[in-house]
Amino acid sequence: MAGVFIVTYELSGDSAEIAEAHYAKIKSSLKGQAEVVAKFGATKFRPDHIGGIGSLFLSGNKAPIGWKTVRRHADGIEAAPNYATKSGREALQELAEAPRAPTSVDLARSLGWANGMVVDEDRACVCFATDTRVEKPERRIFVRLPRKADDGWAPPSSMTEVSEGEFMRALADHNAAVALARAALSTEAE
């Protein structure tokens, strides 16, 4: 059985437009999720693996009735609904009804890649699609897809395969530009 390998593509044209619509959906769903989170007295949340709300960050050091503490932080706790209680199930239902942010796998599917995940039996692991958007020094969008040699999928012409080195260079350039911008802001503040 052929193993899984990761292929990185840079998006342009139609594919970039699909990605921009994907990011707009994420932004829109985050607003709806923030409204639900605020109902529980939290200001932040940790997403789950399918784009929903997994847990909430609450002030204080005790979880509300129907919730369980996931972990403690200096400024409060992270808590999730306790499935074993009626109020926990009600909270879980309310969180489940919040808008779901589309995931990287959703973006990959909208670009024509049909596999939600690829299982590498040789290494006993599951590989998912990921996406990365860099803003500096120029806006670039990358999608990394787990592929098998015999999967038969051909990317659209608006997806250009790039080397791992080029992808890493884009990340390094972005991080350097952000660091320079932060340094300039801190120098102005002094």
Q: Is the pLDDT of residue 116 over 90?
A: no
CA distance 69 to 86: 17
Give the residue from 97, 98, 101 showing the smallest Cα distance to 33: 98
Mean residue pLDDT across the chain? 89
Are 51 and 107 a contacting pair, CB within 8 Å? no
Higher pLDDT pick, 22 / 121: 22
Q: What's the rounded Cα separation, in Å, for the pair 53 and 97?
A: 10
CA–CA separation, 64 and 79 (whole Å): 9
Per-residue model confidence (pLDDT) at position 1: 42
53 close to 70: Cβ distance less than 8 angstroms: no
Kindly state the percentage of the chain with pLDDT values over 70.
96
pLDDT(16) > 90: yes
Per-residue pLDDT tens over the stretch 66-105: 999 999 988 899 999 999 999 999 999 999 999 999 999 8
* Domain regions of the chain by residue span: 4-22+102-189
User: How large is the average pLDDT for residues 8-36?
Assistant: 94
Give the pLDDT confidence of 154-179 residue by residue, as tens digits. 899 999 999 999 999 999 999 999 89
3-state SS assignment for residue 1: coil
Query: How high is the pLDDT of residue 149?
Result: 81
pLDDT band at 190 (very low <50, low <70, confident <90, very high): low
